[in-house]
Copies of this chain bind each other. A is one copy, B any other.
């Protein structure tokens, strides 16, 4: 869905200057834009979301404060775009036919993301998302949506192929694995590497 047509005019991209059509005046610097996003991500990882300051990001990016305020109305909006620009790690396409093995592999990759470099980012970010709906949505988009869609599909296939019972609550099962990992991450309880295996064994027996 989504539809291509909605993308014909990308004028609503967060950082589009005003809204008009004819562009006049000096165009916004693409390099400054990127430098700001980079600086923001850098600072986010280093100091956490609460440690972010506009002045800090500006000086890190060697940019005037106004250049930031011109583009984003608030810190969360900036962080949203910074995260959006962050390359989402390509997920390995897994479809071996074995639902359990595939799911375990997806969970494994998610767990690696969480314990790896992006984990800090997710944690720093997560702290804020309950406060800012747009942050939550972006978080969803960047870190969650893709994976959940795949898992849901995976499980649906498992049901179709008879590997899982027809009575399976697809949505719930697809959610469970991530929910547990997220629960552990956000309570900072141990994210032991055998979790994916245990999850698969327990819930897809």
Binding site for B on A (CB under 8 A): 48-50, 123-124, 126-131, 133, 136, 139-140, 144, 167-169, 172-173, 175-176, 178-180, 182-183, 186-188, 198-199, 201-203, 205
Contact = CB atoms under 8 A, between A and B. Distances in A.
Number of copies: 4
Main secondary structure of the interface of A (DSSP, over half): helix
Contacts of A182: 179, 182-183, 186
A198 B175 contact: no
Given A176-B203, A180-B176, A198 B169 contact: yes
Q: Considering residues A139, A173, A176, which has the most beta carbons from chain B within 10 angstroms of its beta carbon? A: A176
A175 B186 contact: no
Closest 5 CB pairs of A and B: A179-B183, A179-B179, A169-B202, A127-B130, A179-B180
Contacts of A167: 205
Given A172-B199, A179-B183, A130 B136 contact: no
A133 B123 CA distance: 12
